[in-house]
Structure 1
Amino acid sequence: MDRAFPRRKEIRLKQYDYSQPGYYSVTICTHQRQKLFSSLVGAHLCVRPSSADSFLGLFLHELEQKYSGVLVDCYAVMPDHLHVILALTGAHTGAPLPEMIKWYKTQTTNAYIRLVKRGQVPPFQKHVWQRGYYDHVIRNDTDLAETRQYIANNPLNWTLNKD
């Protein structure tokens, strides 16, 4: 192993099947926490995405179409990250969560590049998204309610604490 590169910490649960039914909270951060989505902050709080949403919501909607049995429970766009709760239903027999997030990040990166070329969003440095993402397996109704509340409150908390 090359010692020039530090070993990345494994953040997924070992032996956990990320394609099994359940609720998953996912946070995806922009590369080096660039504030690329400032114009979208607070948009689409805990609502289901539609094809008329911002490009971030559009591809969440597409995620539901591409992968059967996947539903977006709620999401919130922040200046430098995105929170989303994904529900994998019993009908989901396809890709595990990491594959879905990889697809989402690829699609939104390509869309962001097109928007930069049209001058509709600020340019980014090096990458749009960080290499990884944070996930949390939601284990019960209390955990789900608390996670939804956290996502709903996050834009307001951001505004109050940005100093």
Structure 2
Amino acid sequence: MAQIVEDETRLTTAGHIVQYIWESLHKRFPMIQTDAFVVMPNHIHGIVMIVEDNVGAIHAVSHPVRAASPDGARRPACRRCCGTNGELPLHPNRIQRRQMLLPKVIGYFKMNTSKQINLSRGVPGKRVWQRNYFERVIRNDDELSSLRQYIYNNPSL
């Protein structure tokens, strides 16, 4: 994907594909932002941020959702699940769904980069990435700054 020449990263065709798809991830997943990123000879380092203001369906809706009957009347379909006012309960696994976002982003990234790299090499279906990936939750600005520096300086380390 890249060659390190005199402490400088030079991307191969595969590296350019990886970089392009990384930079395009926010178009497919508007609830994320990509941050620091580097392509290494046989792996990548990158930071994906989940943008709180734009998580869409994962956050609670601003107005109650009401059940409707088959005739279109807005009334509770059943008081046991909807309560007496007809409002549907919010999904109890909202937080869990948010945690599932990163695997979807990484899966999409790996699938699309693999497909494009294999097309460019004329070897459809060949494995490009390892099966899993390493993830880490960044808990504060100091940690974020440190990881950004590591990524930006990585080719020369």
Give the TM-score range, shorter chain: 0.5 to 0.7
Normalised by the length of structure 2, the TM-score is 0.61
Q: CA deviation at 1:136?
A: 0.7
| 2:76 is the alignment partner of 1:114 | no
* SS of equivalent residue, structure 2 residue 135: strand
Please name the residue that 2:129 is paired with.
Answer: 129
Normalised by the length of structure 1, the TM-score is 0.59
Provide the rounded CA distance (Å) in 2 between the counterparts of 1:97 and 1:104. 10
1:61-113 Cα offsets, whole Å, 9 max, x none, are: 22110011211111000001100111111112466100110010000000110
Provide the rounded CA distance (Å) in 1 between the counterparts of 2:143 and 2:10. 23
Residue ranges of structure 1 left out of the alignment (5+ in a row): 1-36, 45-52, 118-122, 158-163
| 2:22 is the alignment partner of 1:60 | yes
CA-atom RMSD in angstroms:
2.6
Provide the rounded CA distance (Å) in 2 between the counterparts of 1:131 and 1:104. 13
Give the counterpart of 2:9 among 38, 42, 56.
42
Please name the residue that 2:55 is paired with.
Answer: 92
Structure 2 CA distance for partners of 1:43 and 1:82, relative to 1, 3 Å: same
**Matched letter for residue 9 of structure 2:** G
Report if the CA contact (8 A) 2:37-2:45 is conserved. Answer: yes
* SS of equivalent residue, structure 1 residue 137: coil
Q: Which has the higher contact order (CA 8 A, sep 6+)?
A: 1
Moved over 3 A (4+): none
Provide the rounded CA distance (Å) in 2 between the counterparts of 1:153 and 1:115. 29
Q: How many residues align?
A: 108
**Matched letter for residue 60 of structure 1:** W
Please name the residue that 1:155 is paired with.
Answer: 155
Pair member with larger Rg: 2
Q: Which has the higher helix share?
A: 2
Provide the rounded CA distance (Å) in 1 between the counterparts of 2:21 and 2:129. 15
